[in-house]
């Protein structure tokens, strides 16, 4: 009974002990610098290989993704938009929350986990085994494990004649990609994994300033870098489609709900309608994985109810006239 009204010294002590423990647990999610800013560790297999000679051969390569991972999602999107399924198989790995690693649903090339595949490909012992990964069946080797480079390689891969780095807007695409990578794609993690208020404030300010810049760009053109769909749009989508479902409630990214940025809202709806995009979105899996796995941020492991995905890709609430038809440069696949 006494604990219902604990003495202040006990509350103070418990808070300090919990905070100390929390900081130790956060180290498991990722390193921070001395000022408490989250610093994403570098990816393995980051060197960009040449386009393989057997790139067009059916099933010679495999793109390994996890459903909840936004970095994997961008690679999956390029795979879908350029219809690369004829030459690259898609392998979806599942999280193993107890072991904290990705595992294959069926043994893959003799491996039960992604870590085994990394080790067999020559990764250092103890290296992070991250998705996405492009794997060569011929070489029995991971070729590339860094998503920003991987989407560029997949854009050069023989496939659908869609160029997601259109020459006429190359500079704008590159500038947006660079800005998004730090302030938005990693920015939501910088908010969620910040170790103190100042680190969070800095990341959150940069994130919303960039989203407001995107809102301005999208109020005068259909796609982020201009008239044509590009890798900049591909990079923005995985973060924005998880905003209300995961990042706002879990990472504290809730300064402005997206419906207050109507051009961004309409852009997200337009992108969602592109071929293959909806099939890459599994909101239930995202919420289960994030709320279930990120124990230091959500110790109970309870997965809260969230808005159905369909409500996030409806016309912007309370506004008419934003429901612009998709000026899609993506050819529809024949049935
Ligand atoms: N820099 C990598 C990061 C990818 C990444 O962090 N993936 C996470 C899932 S969202 C992962 O696989 N983590 C597993 C681990 O750290 O062990 C990329 O962009 O490709």
Q: pTM (2 decimals)?
A: 0.94
Q: Tell me which fold the domain 61-156 belongs to.
A: Glutaredoxin (3.40.30)
Ligand 1 centroid to Cα of residue 51, in Å, is 23
> Which residues of the chain fall short of a pLDDT of 50?
1, 325, 327, 331-335
- Give the per-residue pLDDT at 320: 57
**42, 44, 69, 76: residue to mutate for ligand 1 pocket, most atoms within 8 A of CB:** 69
- Give the per-residue pLDDT at 329: 54
- Give the per-residue pLDDT at 331: 45
- Give the per-residue pLDDT at 126: 79
Q: What is the CATH number of domain 167-312?
A: 1.20.1050.10
Domains of the chain, residue spans:
61-156, 167-312
- Give the per-residue pLDDT at 89: 98
Q: Whose CA is nearest to atom 9 of ligand 1?
A: 69
Q: Whose CA is nearest to atom 5 of ligand 1?
A: 130
- Give the per-residue pLDDT at 335: 30
Q: Do domains 61-156 and 167-312 have the same CATH topology?
A: no
Let me know: does 84 contact 161? Beta carbons within 8 Å.
no
- Give the per-residue pLDDT at 5: 80
| Ligand 1 environment, Cβ below 6 A | 43, 69, 71, 101, 128-132, 145-147
């Amino acid at each position: 009974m006494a604990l219902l009204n604990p003495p202040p010294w006990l509350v103070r002590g418990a808070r300090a002990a919990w905070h100390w423990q929390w900081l130790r647990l956060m180290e498991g999610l990722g390193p921070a610098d001395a000022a408490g800013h989250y610093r994403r560790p570098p990816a393995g297999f980051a060197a960009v290989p040449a386009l393989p000679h057997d790139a067009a051969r059916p099933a010679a390569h495999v793109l390994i993704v996890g459903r909840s991972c936004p970095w994997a999602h961008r690679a999956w999107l390029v795979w879908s938009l350029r219809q690369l399924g004829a030459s690259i198989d898609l392998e979806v790995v599942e999280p193993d929350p107890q072991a904290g690693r990705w595992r294959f649903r069926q043994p893959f090339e003799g491996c039960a986990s992604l870590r085994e595949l990394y080790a067999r490909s020559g990764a250092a012992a103890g290296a992070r085994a991250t998705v996405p990964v492009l794997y060569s069946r011929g070489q029995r080797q991971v070729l590339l494990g860094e998503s920003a480079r991987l989407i560029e390689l997949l854009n050069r891969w023989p496939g659908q004649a869609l160029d997601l780095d259109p020459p006429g807007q190359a500079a704008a695409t590159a500038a947006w990609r660079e800005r998004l990578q730090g302030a938005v794609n990693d920015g939501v993690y910088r908010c969620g994994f910040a170790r103190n208020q100042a680190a969070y404030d800095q990341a959150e300010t940069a994130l919303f300033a960039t989203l407001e810049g995107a809102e301005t760009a999208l109020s005068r053109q259909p796609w982020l870098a201009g008239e044509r769909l590009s890798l900049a749009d591909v990079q923005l989508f995985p973060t924005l489609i998880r905003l209300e479902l995961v990042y706002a409630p879990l990472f504290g990214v809730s300064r402005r709900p997206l419906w207050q940025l109507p051009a961004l809202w309409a852009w997200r709806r337009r992108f969602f309608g592109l071929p293959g995009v909806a099939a890459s979105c599994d909101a239930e899996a995202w919420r289960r994985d994030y709320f279930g796995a990120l124990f230091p941020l959500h110790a109970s492991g309870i997965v809260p109810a969230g808005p159905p995905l369909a409500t996030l890709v409806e016309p912007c609430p309370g506004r008419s006239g934003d429901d612009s038809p998709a000026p899609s440069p993506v050819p529809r696949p024949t049935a």
